[in-house]
Amino acid sequence: MSSQTGGGRASIFGDDDFDLSDFQPRPPAHKAAPPEEVRAISERASFRSREPKPAAPAAPAAPPAEAPARRAQRRHRTGRNAQLNIKVRPETLNAFHALVDRHGWVQGEAFERAIAALERELAGRA
């Protein structure tokens, strides 16, 4: 790379005065349509707006469908900080939670016990 400043390239350290009087921003490529026109086109195209609709008068609420029972939060300080996310059948998950609740274990402890039991079972087969 050359350290010369010649060749028509301006020096960043030079005291050159630049004439910027001819500089003008470019005009926009197109003008935005008026909001009324945009709304009319959007309605014809069945575009759904993200703007909140005015609140409708409250209708009597139908009783909610049977929602699954909420489990109590299980937050314990155990030093376990690695996450395992697996897909299981709903009945397996319910059985796991029932076992955890019945014995008062945290989920990590129950999982550790399950791994230990599986290792013992497999070692007994060998």
Q: Please say if the pLDDT value at position 4 is more than 70.
A: no
Percent pLDDT > 90 in the chain is 33
Determine the residue type at 113: R
Helix, strand, coil shares of the chain, percent, nearest 5, are 35, 0, 65
Q: What is the pLDDT of residues 10-59, one digit of tens each?
A: 777 766 677 778 888 888 888 888 989 988 998 899 888 787 777 777 66
Q: How long, in residues, is the chain?
A: 126
Nearest-angstrom CA–CA distance, 99 and 25: 71
The answer to whether the CB of 95 falls within 8 A of the CB of 89 is: no
User: What's the pTM value of the predicted model, to 2 decimals?
Assistant: 0.40
